[in-house]
Amino acid sequence: MEGQKKRLAVLVGCNYPNTGNELHGCINDVLAMKETLVKRFGFDDNDIEVLTDAPNSCKLPTGANIKQALAKLVDGSEAGDVLYFHYSGHGTRIPSKKHGHHFHHEEAIVPCDFNLITDLDFRQLVNRLAKGASLTILSDSCHSGGLIDKEKEQVGPSSSLQKGPISKTTNTLTHKTIPYDSILHHLSSQTKATTTDIGTHMLELFGSDASLRFQTVSHALLEALGPDEGILLSGCQADETSADMNPGAGGGKAYGAFSNAVEMVLREKEGGLSNREVVVRARKVLQGQGFEQHPCLYCSDENADATFLCQPQKTEQ
């Protein structure tokens, strides 16, 4: 239809199979979200790119492949486009060199090849959006709060929090984090450099595909430009971990706690939900299930109360 704007998505699930960092529910998370995007939010199956590290995957979720998919998503954007990125996998924190940084760390996601994608990379992506297009990021990973650098907190650490009870689930819970020291050890084992500077190892291994965090770039490219159309729904606060649940021998599918909570929230209410409502309701779901992670929302004031993924209104037949 002439004038109809695009609804495009990139979905990434990393289970890190046959490694010491193996997770179980991340691929299930993004496949479930793909179905939801098509059935509820009007996305076309052909406009959703899925990257997983499942056996026989045609395109692995390496750092370069993820950034290439996101660049295609953003650089082709036009006013009114609804863009969505869902990530389920490990996250980490990098010691910050920025004076006065709140947590003294910067947030990153961990692609299957450990080519970290950082909060600065997501900031630059948002800065490249066409005026009037929106980019919603849902990151079901540890330390995901603040994953878009300098995005305004709407629901986060300064919000009133009530801790839920300790989880009594019999399922196997894995925290979706790889400690910084483990990442540094993994990278340094593959390079000839003897330094403890992670940037040196990243640049030697990945070159121009390494995060902007480790390259010399203009600071102007990485500054927030005022209220923007970046929207981050994070599975937890920057100093918290997110859970990967594996029912194991008990049967049932493995899942990420936050991704599953969002799916539950969307099933419970048919009509449109604001970004704020999705996060607040997901918090309540997780609290009721006994999890001690607190989803957060980072975006402009206007987008906090905008409808999640601009859910199309149903037309009367």
Is the predicted pLDDT of residue 313 greater than 80, yes or no? Answer: no
**Tens digit of each residue's pLDDT (9 = 90 or more) over 32-71:** 999 999 999 999 999 999 999 999 898 999 999 999 999 9
Report d(CA 278, CA 299) in Å as an integer. 13
What Rg value do the Cα atoms of the chain yield, rounded? 19
Report d(CA 94, CA 197) in Å as an integer. 11
pLDDT of residue 227: 83
pLDDT tier, 167 (very low <50, low <70, confident <90, very high otherwise): very low
Q: What is the mean pLDDT of residues 255-283?
A: 96
**Cα–chain center distance at 7:** 18
The first and second tokens of residue 130, run together, are: 């066409």
pLDDT of residue 98: 57
* Sequence letter at residue 3: G
Query: Across the chain, what does the average pLDDT equal?
Result: 90
pLDDT of residue 176: 95
Strand partners, 11: 50, 86
Report d(CA 278, CA 276) in Å as an integer. 6
- Write the CATH number of the domain with boundaries 7-308: 3.40.50.12660
In sequence order, the 6+-apart residues with CB closer than 8 A to the CB of 153 are: 146, 296, 297, 298
- Lowest-confidence pick of 141-150, 153-162, 251-260: 153-162
Catalytic site residues?
90, 142
Specify the pTM: 0.93
pLDDT of residue 216: 86
Helix (H) or strand (E) holding 81: none
Identify which of 81, 85, 84, 67 has the alpha carbon closest to the alpha carbon of residue 213. 67
Q: What is the mean pLDDT of residues 244-256?
A: 85
Burial class (CB in 10 A: 0-12, 13-18, 19+), 282: buried
Q: What is the mean pLDDT of residues 148-169?
A: 70
In sequence order, the 6+-apart residues with CB closer than 8 A to the CB of 226 are: none
**Tens digit of each residue's pLDDT (9 = 90 or more) over 65-95:** 999 999 999 999 999 999 999 999 999 999 8
